[in-house]
Amino acid sequence: MKFLKAIIAGIILVIFLPAITWSYEEKDPVKQAFLSSGARLEICDITDWSIIARESMDFDDMEKIKAGIIKLFDTEEQNFKTTKESDEMYRILNMDGWIDSDTFLQVILQSVDLPEEYEEEPQTYLVVTATSRNIEKLEELRIKVRDAIVSFGGQSRITTCITGTFDGKLNEAQQDGILEKFARDLKIENYEKVRDDYTASVVGYSPEISESITILKKNYNVNIAMRYNSEDDRTYIWIGTPVISVEY
């Protein structure tokens, strides 16, 4: 089942996240909009993935890629834990650990070699995720995550998500005010908002971000959601480009 879940996840990403090359100005507009919103930073997540080979890869070759990524992030192998698992159809190497006190790195390499009756060629996937509590590292990590994919033959499909909080429960009008401020700061077009009993979410297109994805003939590159959590009495906000790539 694991390899089927991975394939399904890959199909979803291929449909909604075509190859994207992000060109951010020195002053990241999403970062600036977040800082001016008054939210308290919780975490930044940067994820990129790609097929890097149309062939099966053994663990020795995976280890070489792992070593290259460790070098790219200028860290040491002893900072990471590596696990491996395999059967007749897949091979997975998972590495994770702390780059420093603020930043966690995970690397997943997976080779899938389906039986002949599926009539599908073998493929090897690479997923790189950096998670940091320091927003000032956002652009540096984004560059390194993307370079890790491209350096090993992949095509970047990078996503970024900033998670923040506001103290207490913000009412609907307060949430709408924050979402509208993001819309003004990022000059969002194709603005579409959906609200249910728990969550308000927005998608749209910002010309401040140079690339976008196309869904149903419309361009999008910003996804924002807000929800109150009664357990810790805080209202959470997630800002994803081009989509929110974490659970909320």
Would the pLDDT of 22 be above 70?
no
Contact by Cβ (8 Å): 107, 125: no
Yes or no: say if 231 and 160 are a contact pair by the CB < 8 Å rule. Answer: no
Instruction: Identify whether the C-beta of residue 128 lies closer than 8 Å to the C-beta of residue 151.
Output: no
Structure tokens at 139: 């652009």
User: Distance between CA 38 and CA 105 in Å, rounded?
Assistant: 27
Q: Name residues whose C-beta falls within 8 Å of residue 109's C-beta, 6 or more positions apart in sequence.
A: 57, 62, 65, 66, 92, 93, 94, 124, 125, 126
Instruction: Give dist(CA 149, CA 109) in Å, integer.
Output: 11
**What pLDDT does 228 receive?**
97
75, 105 contact by CB (below 8 A) = yes
Q: Note the pLDDT tens digit of each residue in 55-70.
A: 999 999 999 999 999 9
Question: When comparing pLDDT for 71 and 243, which is higher?
Answer: 71
Summarize pLDDT for 156-168 with one digit per residue, the tens.
Answer: 999 999 999 999 9
**Alpha helices, H only, the chain:** 2-16, 29-37, 59-72, 138-151, 172-185
Q: Residue 220: is its pLDDT beyond 60?
A: yes
Picking from 102, 33, 46, the residue whose alpha carbon sits closest to that of residue 241 is 46
Hey, what are 152's tokens?
């090993």
Q: List, in order of start, the domains of the chain with CATH numbers.
A: 2-17+45-160 (3.30.2030)
Across 134-160, average pLDDT: 95
What does the pLDDT read at residue 18? 42
Six-digit token string for 244:
């929110």
pLDDT at 246: 84
1 pLDDT band, cuts 50/70/90, is very low
Q: Tell me the pLDDT tens digit for each residue of 44-100.
A: 999 999 999 999 999 999 999 999 999 999 999 999 999 999 998 999 999 999 999
pLDDT (tens digit, 9 = 90+) per residue, 33-47? 999 999 999 999 999
pTM of the model: 0.84
On whether the CB atoms of residues 160 and 138 are closer than 8 A, the answer is yes
Average pLDDT, the chain: 88
- In this predicted structure, the answer to whether residue 240 has a pLDDT above a threshold of 50 is yes
Find, among 105, 142, 171, 106, the residue nearest to 30 by Cα. 142
